[in-house]
Amino acid sequence: MIEDPFLRKLERAVQLSEDERYALQSLTFNRRTLPARHDIATGDVTDRVYLVMSGFACRYKTLPSGNRRIVSFVLPGDLCYMHDAGAFGRDLRVGALTPCSVVDLSRSKLVELIGLHPGISRAIWWVTLRELSRAREWIVNDTRPADRRLAHLLCELLVCLQVIQQADEHGFEFPVTQVDVADALGISHVHINRVLQSLRSSGLVAWSSQHVTIPDVDGLRAYAEFDPAYLCFEGFGP
């Protein structure tokens, strides 16, 4: 049940034993489907952890002005609210950008598994550290001009979606609105449209009818100054 994107992604970094894989699979608590624009989680403390199985979601905060800033995307196989619930995430929410299929897990049971299985512990560490590394890269990305910023985001999405087999060599389905991407980049929805058109006219990106195509991945990466090392899909040291 849990199987598909979650374990596949974990095992990209950490080899799990048969036991560990089984233990994780038996955690499933409840499965549900959320419509777009609905919150998966708010800042409340619960014993629930959420595993997104399909669809695009995001972690975000809302400013007093009403502006929303997305601080990270949540893709299939990503765990939410493991650590960002409660004290750390009072104002952090997780929202569905497209219809999402979500599995609820018991946090306390997962914590227990972490204590029992070194492989699971390593895997959860890896997930957390990747989030940290990614957040820092987003901070850096915020210093780039908007066109490179968008290019960088698309490069990141391409890699992350390839890992879960939701992207091919040159593109991916991306049923997310320009407004959402604007909030992830911290720019206005008008500006992202202009910036996108400039990338289109340079031939670096094609994005229409919910499909992104990147004809020249190396070219876009160079333009975005994108180096996938920070995502650390290539293994996890100590």
Q: What three-state secondary structure class fits 31?
A: strand
The string over 123-149, giving b where at least 16 C-beta atoms fall within 10 Å of a residue's C-beta and e elsewhere, is: bbebbeebbeebeebbeebeeeebbbb
The string over 181-193, giving b where at least 16 C-beta atoms fall within 10 Å of a residue's C-beta and e elsewhere, is: bbbbbebeeeebe
| Start-end of H helices in the chain | 3-10, 18-25, 107-116, 118-141, 146-163, 178-185, 189-201, 217-224
Residue 208: CB minimum distance to a copy of itself, A = 27
Specify whether the CB–CB gap between 111 and 183 falls below 8 A. no
Task: Decide: is 69 part of the binding site for a copy of itself (CB under 8 A).
Answer: yes
- The footprint of DNA on this chain (CB under 7 A) covers a number of residues equal to 18
Task: Decide: is 197 part of the binding site for DNA (CB under 7 A).
Answer: yes
Kindly tell me which residue out of 54, 133, 162, 188 binds DNA, with binding defined by CB under 7 A. Answer: 188
Partner whose footprint covers residue 195, from DNA, a copy of itself, none (CB < 5 to 8 Å by kind): DNA
Kindly tell me which residue out of 29, 129, 193, 198 binds a copy of itself, with binding defined by CB under 8 A. Answer: 129
Partner whose footprint covers residue 238, from DNA, a copy of itself, none (CB < 5 to 8 Å by kind): a copy of itself
Binding mask 184-213 for a copy of itself (x = CB under 8 A): --x---------------------------
Binding mask 135-174 for DNA (x = CB under 7 A): ----------xxx---------------------------
